[in-house]
Amino acid sequence: MTSSNSILSITVLPGKSKNGTAENFSEIILSPGDVLSIVGATGSGKTAFINDIEVLAQGDTVTGRIILVNGQNPPDDFIRDPSKKPIAMITQNTKCLADLTVHEFLEMHLRSRKISDISLLEKTIQTANKFTGEKIAAGMRICSLSGGQTRSLFIADAVIISNTPIILLDELENAGIFKEKVIEELRQLRKTTIFVTHDPYVALLTDRRIVMENGTVKCILEPGDLEKDVLFRISEIDKELSAMRERIRGGELLFENKGGTSV
Amino acid sequence: MTARLITVAGPPSAGKTAVVRQILKNLIPEFKVAYLKIDVVQAWEDEELAEEFHIPTKKVYSGDMCPDHTGILVLQDAVEWANSVDADYLIYESAGLCLRCTPYTTHSFGLCVVPAVSGMHTPLKMAPMITFADAVIVTKIDLVSQAEKEVFREAIRQVSSETDIIETDALAGTNMRYLMKRIFELSETRNDADQLRGSPPLGVCTVCIGKKDVGWQNHFGVIRPLDAPDTLFRGE
């Protein structure tokens, strides 16, 4: 029997552009532990790409792409039974409409995934609180959480409750959460991860970059070590920006030193 | 040749017509489809679908009458009309207002359309419409996160552990193949008398049938004097 634990690979077969022309790649294969990013202008089809993977599209989405699991058409219960689904996606949506408390929401999600270990509920909230500045409590109403809290909770939910081998993250850098802690968590768990991103640091951290244009894949880059020096420089810039951000959030005034580098 | 009857129910703006469009896209041109819309005051779907798909359509305004009640009254005629135009399928889209009744009949294939952006208690509130359906179509899944979609599915499962659930972005047609598989497999509508699946509300109300006189003495059926411990029944 195929279960979500025995996922070996995901194959993306080409679809068509917004004006109907075929996409210019033969297939994109994601193997376990692969970390990819998807970049491109807004409206270029980045979200549609990961959405195709999430719904395991069979030519029935706007892009016309087909997704294979282990080289074959996915079994129906991967698509239709949440407890069998090997993919978790965190959308850009930072609003949850559910009229439930955090506790009730996670409890129902555990049930939909047929998980009886109730301790995962507390663990999910703890993990979410690593990513967000203002803490989430179990009794809070989920629709009253901030954008960043909602995003943090959904990421923790994907990692702990869904616990799927494949995780898709749409613009992680938005909503002001601690992105480096999320990336670290995912790396530790060796998840196959796709980041849709506008953030140079996140993009350069990944092994493969898919570049989108006009609804289609424009090219696929595997920079290897070529960008090593730039990655180091971006990580330094990013650290500096993060430090500034936290000081601004803390209510400080920032001044330029004579040397011109630190704050 | 008898048209197969598909009943589409669900609250206003749930995406019923978007689902109907997907069904039509998949059935036409191989099959001939007739479409009936019942609504209360205004509806345009019949004109839009007639223009878009070149199919025979009809619309009935229920006006002062409950739209599902109107449906029950006219459905037999509608099936005969669909047969007279050689339709393979008749799609009947209801107005879906108070959620107390279910328009599905024993001979029809009943679809309940409910958007994923509804509150988590919505499936409970519209329980009859969900439990009596052959399939629940959850629309607008592109507007919610995956976790929320799964929790909403669980909310439907609390009402009905068995009903087929199909999640879709009906504008794009995502997962519609599962619905179409069932529609293609429908057998011909039987010729014997068709009946409502669910129980309609009790017919208790003389006010609803137009008696305006104040005072229980002026009414019959189930009545209630002020100091009576419970309701009473009084025959005509």
Q: Does B120 touch chain A (CB under 8 A)?
A: yes
Q: For chain B, list the domains and their CATH numbers.
A: 4-184 (3.40.50.300), 203-236 (no CATH)
Terminal alpha carbon distance of chain A:
58
Q: Which residues contact A98 (CB under 8 A, 6 or more apart)?
A: A105, A142, A143, B119, B120, B148, B151, B152
Q: Which residue from B229, B209, B170 is spatially nearest to B66, judged by alpha carbons?
A: B209
Residues of chain B with C-beta less than 8 angstroms from the C-beta of A98: 119-120, 148, 151-152
pLDDT top residue among B51 and B213: B51
CB contact under 8 A, A96 and B176: no
pLDDT of residue B203: 66
Place of tokens 């008749």: B90
Residue B59 and residue B91 in contact, taking contact as beta carbons nearer than 8 Å: no
The kind and range of the H/E element at A234 are: helix A228-249
* Residue A229 CB contacts under 8 Å (≥ 6 apart), including other chains: none
Angle at B169 between CA B163 and CA B173, to 5 degrees: 90
Which residue is closest to A105 within chain B, CA to CA? Answer: B151
Q: For residue A80, which amino acid is it?
A: R
Confirm or reject contact between A162 and chain B (CB < 8 A). Answer: yes
Q: Does B26 touch chain A (CB under 8 A)?
A: no
Which CATH entry fits the domain spanning A4-224: 1.10.10.10, 3.30.230.10, 3.40.50.620, 3.40.50.300? 3.40.50.300
Give me the helices (H) in A10-136, please.
46-54, 76-80, 102-112, 119-131
DSSP A182: H
CB pairs under 8 A between A and B: 80
**Number of helices and strands in chain A (H, E):** 8, 9
B113, A61 Cβ separation under 8 angstroms: no
Three-state secondary structure call for residue A37: strand
The pairing of strands A10-13 and A28-30 is antiparallel
- Cβ atoms of B116 and B11 within 8 Å: the answer is no
Contact A60 B142 (CB under 8 A): no
The CA distance from A18 to A16, in Å, is 7
Question: Using CA atoms, how far apart are residues B206 and B218, in angstroms rounded to an integer?
Answer: 9
Omega within 30 of 0 (cis) for the link into B12: no
Would you write out chain A's pLDDT as a tens digit for each of its 263 residues?
Answer: 344 456 678 999 999 987 888 898 999 999 988 999 999 999 899 999 999 999 899 998 889 999 999 999 999 888 888 788 889 888 887 777 778 899 999 999 999 888 999 999 999 999 999 999 889 999 999 988 998 899 999 999 999 998 889 999 998 888 778 888 888 888 888 889 999 999 999 999 899 999 999 999 999 999 988 999 999 999 999 889 888 988 998 899 988 765 445 44
DSSP lists the bridge partners of residue A58 as A66
Reported as half-sphere exposure (CB side, CA atoms, 13 A), residue A231 has a value of 12
The ipTM of this complex is 0.77
A57 touches chain B (CB under 8 A): yes
**For B174, which residue in chain A has the nearest alpha carbon?**
A60
Q: Does B117 touch chain A (CB under 8 A)?
A: yes
Nearest to B172 among A61, A76, A91 (CB): A61
Interacting residues of A199 by C-beta distance below 8 A, sequence separation 6+? A172, A173, A179
Q: Given this model, what pLDDT does residue B236 score?
A: 60
Return the DSSP state at B202. Answer: P
Give the mean pLDDT of B143-172: 91
Q: Does A52 touch chain B (CB under 8 A)?
A: no
Contact yes or no for B233/B221 (Cβ under 8 A): yes
Mean pLDDT of B88-107: 88
The candidate with the shortest Cα–Cα distance to B94, out of B116, B118, B78, is: B78
Percent of chain B scoring above 90 in pLDDT? 52
> Tens digits of per-residue pLDDT, B100-156?
788 899 999 999 999 999 888 899 999 999 999 999 999 998 888 888 899 999 999
Q: What's the confidence (pLDDT) of residue A242? A: 86
Residue A239, H or E segment: helix A228-249
Instruction: Give the Cα separation of B89 and A86 in Å (integer).
Output: 37
What is residue A4's predicted lDDT score, i.e. its pLDDT? 46
Which of B117, B157, B177 is facing A97, going by the closest CB pair? Answer: B117
Per the prediction, chain B carries an average pLDDT of 89
Task: For residues B157-182, give the mean pLDDT.
Answer: 92
Rg (CA), chain B: 20
3-state secondary structure of A42: coil
Distance between CA B109 and CA B134 in Å, rounded?
6
Per-residue b/e over B118-128, b at no fewer than 16 CB within 10 Å? Answer: bebebbeebbb
What is the dihedral sign for C-alpha B42, B172, B57, B163? Answer: negative
Tokens of B46: 């019949």
For strands A66-69 and B33-39, give the pairing.
unpaired
Min Cα separation B142/chain A (Å): 9
In whole angstroms, what is the distance from residue A259 CA to residue A10 CA? 50
